[in-house]
Amino acid sequence: MIKIMIADDQQLIRNSLKIILDANPNFKVISTVSNRQEVLDSIKKEKPDIILMDIRMPKMDGTVCTKYVKEKYPDIKVIVLTTFDDDDFIFSALKYGASGYLLKGVSTKELYNAINTVEHGGAMINPNIAEKVFKLFSKMAQSNYAIQVNDKDTKNFSKHE
C-alpha cells in the first residue's frame, strides 16, 4: 500500500483528492495538510511514501517545501500537483527533487498511474510540461551548455536509450 500525503492550501482540493485516492485499494491517504509547517510535522508522525504538493501555499511555496522535504527525507517522493505551468515553477520543482509535475486537470487514471510510476522509481510529467523541459534542454545544447552525466545517472538506461 502506498502511503500518500496531500499538501494543498485549498480544503476542497484536499478533500476531493482524498476521496479519489482512497477509492484505490493500493493507496492510503495518511494526512492532508495546508502549509509547510504542517507538511514537516506530519512527515515526522506519518512517514508518507509520496507527497502530492501544491505550488502556492501559505508560509512557503511548494517548490521550496519540496527542497526541504528532499534534504531531510530523501526517500520521500514528491509529485507537484498544481494549476501552474510556469517555467520557473517547473524547473525549480524538478531542480529541488520532485519526481513528478502534474497539472490539476489530470484524469484520475493519469494520477493513479503517476503515483505508481513515481513509487516504483520513475518520473512523471504532463506531456505539455515535458515539451517545456525538452525545449530547455534543446536551448542548453544549442548554447553549448554542458550537463555532467556519470555512470550512476545512466545505469538504468537500456542499450537503445
Rounded CA-CA distance 33/121 in Å is 24
> Residue 7 is placed in which grid cell?
499538501
What is the reported pTM?
Answer: 0.83
Residue 89 pLDDT more than 90?
Answer: no
Where would I find the beta strands (DSSP E) of 8-103? 27-33, 50-53, 77-82, 100-103
pLDDT-wise least confident of 35-44, 97-106, 122-131 = 122-131
Domains and CATH numbers, the chain: 2-125 (3.40.50.2300)
Q: Are 70 and 78 in contact (CB under 8 A)?
A: yes
Q: Are 87 and 125 in contact (CB under 8 A)?
A: no
Q: Summarize the confidence of residues 51-79 as an average pLDDT.
A: 92
Residue 160 pLDDT more than 50?
Answer: no
Q: Are 63 and 96 in contact (CB under 8 A)?
A: yes
| Mean pLDDT computed over every residue of the chain | 87
